[in-house]
Structure 1
Amino acid sequence: MASRLQGKIAIVTGAGSGYGLGIATKLISEGANVVIADISETNGMAAADKLGATYVKTDVTDKAQWQNLLEMTLSTYNALHIVVNNAGSCYEKQPSETLSDHEFDLTMNVNVRSIFNSVAVIVPHFLQQGDGVFVNIASTSAIRPRPGAPYLLCYSSVFSLTRIKGLAWYAASKAAVNVASNGMAIEYGSRGIRFNTVCPVVGLTSMTNTMQQSDLDAFASTIPLGRMCTPDDVAGAVAYLVSPDAKFITGVNLQVDGGRCA
């Protein structure tokens, strides 16, 4: 297992913290070299120092910065095999009619345009070498945009599943991630490039670490396996999808949700 990704080079966006950091940690533990692409220099450099990885400051909404990211990766490792689009954005819960243009644009740019940019820049490289794999992080809200999803950064002092809503456009952005990934799996499958998504349920990250334990327990009780998602859970799914063990898997939206969407 430790050598399952030996010799592979991976870019992980938003890997300075949360799920991205967990993913980078897991890929490195299985033998990959990882380039951490994060807009936060503080988080990105700290993660790179901790893991022995490479950090490239990147705004994933800017195609030119993706080009720089690819060039830096190739100049450092002379190869690229894996891209994990993990960077994401969410707005504070609110009625859809009050959502500002700025909040909508930021959500769509970080969650959707970033993947468009990655494909525009990285796919030509993968086509030239004859293979490559993308894993795009979506959300269970892309599948079932119901109360309780996608994130509990939108919580009230009195926890109520029926009140956690108002994130329709976030869910729409993640649904776009799933559909686009499925479409590109069909488009590029015959040319050696795989596309899959991972759809986590609400997880234990910096977005939820300010919540009361009783509130976390209340949400966990709605998940059949009885707990919330962790970075390790997401990382395990990603590591499988980018590994040779998943060489015949493409166009899959893998739910990492403890059964919540069942």
Structure 2
Amino acid sequence: MAESNGARVALVAGGSRGIGAAVVRRLAADGLAVAVGYRAAAAETETLVREIESGGGRAVAVQGDIGRDGDPAKMVEQTVARFGRLDALVNTAGVGIYRPLASIDENFVRQMFDTNVLGAIMLTKAAAAVMQEGGRIIHVSSRLAFSPIPASAVYAASKAAVSAMVHGFARELGPRGITINAVAPGVIETDMTTKIIAERGDQIRSSTPLGRIGQPDDIAGIVAFLASNDARWITGRTILADGGLT
């Protein structure tokens, strides 16, 4: 049965851990009801949902693989069925595997683009279909979309597509009062970047004016702003959030 008390509602795809979990916590703290989208991390997601609820917030777990036909629409439908509306979509789900050109095959490319590009497009379509004026759509791109490093070309290309996508869809959604933007993080300290930080952490720290590694909360704050009414005049843009990396 749908709950509806006038509070804004967000769906966070990829919300079980890392940047996604930080976004869930921040939006819940800001008073939004949150559907926590996850692909396989059921236990982590349920723990996060209980954490939000124990703090007085509202949350629900929504399972789905955004790269699989029908799942984006199903995740949106389940969110609306539970909370009665959808005001913000935040897509932090993604595949981030690096391979040099000689090791790339067709399945690798399809896997990357099915999740990072096709999934993002279909989530946008499903969310936009149920949003009213004031809706907010936020995707995660990557700094690598603007400056790829060796072995990151396919990933970088998929994230460059995300930035192009939000630019294009902004023109379609703008007349309805819906904004769509992306955030392009540099290296953020999560379980997905453990190896990179172990190998290049000192180099990354020394390359940023702030002298540290980015944290999930650094990105969650930007997402919360883009999801708010304060960002009503920003659409079709990708915000580069890399700590001033040189």
Whether TM exceeds 0.5 here: the answer is yes
4+ aligned runs moved over 6 Å, structure 1: none
Match of 1:167 in 2: 152
Distance apart, 1:20 and its partner CA? 0.3
1:18 aligns with 2:23: no
- Three-state SS of the structure 2 residue aligned to 1:136 is strand
Matches within 5 A, 1:199-238: 199-209=184-194, 215-238=200-223
Q: Give % identity.
A: 31
1:43 aligns with 2:44: yes
Counterpart Cα distance in 2 of 1:96 and 1:210: 20
Match of 1:110 in 2: 115
Distance apart, 1:23 and its partner CA? 0.6
Task: Indicate conservation of the 8 Å contact 2:19/2:190, yes or no.
Answer: yes
Counterpart Cα distance in 1 of 2:31 and 2:175: 27
Matches within 5 A, 1:89-108: 89-91=95-97, 93-108=98-113
Distance apart, 1:106 and its partner CA? 1.0
Task: Indicate conservation of the 8 Å contact 2:85/2:130, yes or no.
Answer: no
With over 3 angstroms needed to count, the CA separation of the structure-2 counterparts of 1:214 and 1:108, relative to structure 1, is closer
Distance apart, 1:119 and its partner CA? 2.2
Task: Indicate conservation of the 8 Å contact 2:189/2:197, yes or no.
Answer: no
Q: Which moved more, 1:175-184 or 1:248-257?
A: 248-257
- Three-state SS of the structure 1 residue aligned to 2:162 is helix
120, 124, 145: which one pairs with 1:119? 124
Counterpart Cα distance in 2 of 1:101 and 1:51: 41
Task: Indicate conservation of the 8 Å contact 1:7/1:33, yes or no.
Answer: yes
Counterpart Cα distance in 2 of 1:180 and 1:63: 19
User: Structure 2: 5+ residue runs without aligned partners?
Assistant: 1-5, 54-58
Match of 1:31 in 2: 31
Matches within 5 A, 1:58-137: 58-91=64-97, 93-126=98-131, 129-137=132-140
- Three-state SS of the structure 1 residue aligned to 2:70 is helix
Matches within 5 A, 1:174-185: 174-185=159-170
The alignment's TM-score, normalised by the length of structure 1, stands at 0.85
Task: Indicate conservation of the 8 Å contact 1:44/1:57, yes or no.
Answer: no
- Three-state SS of the structure 2 residue aligned to 1:49 is helix
Task: Indicate conservation of the 8 Å contact 1:15/1:47, yes or no.
Answer: no
Q: Which moved more, 1:250-259 or 1:60-69?
A: 60-69
- Three-state SS of the structure 1 residue aligned to 2:157 is helix
Counterpart Cα distance in 2 of 1:231 and 1:256: 11
- What amino acid does structure 1 have at the position aligned with 2:51? K
User: Structure 1: 5+ residue runs without aligned partners?
Assistant: 1-5, 148-164
Matches within 5 A, 1:131-146: 131-145=134-148
- What amino acid does structure 2 have at the position aligned with 1:169? V
- What amino acid does structure 1 have at the position aligned with 2:170? A
- What amino acid does structure 2 have at the position aligned with 1:95? P
1:259 aligns with 2:244: yes
Counterpart Cα distance in 1 of 2:118 and 2:196: 31
Q: Which moved more, 1:95-104 or 1:178-187?
A: 95-104
Counterpart Cα distance in 1 of 2:226 and 2:192: 25
Distance apart, 1:228 and its partner CA? 1.5
Distance apart, 1:214 and its partner CA? 7.5
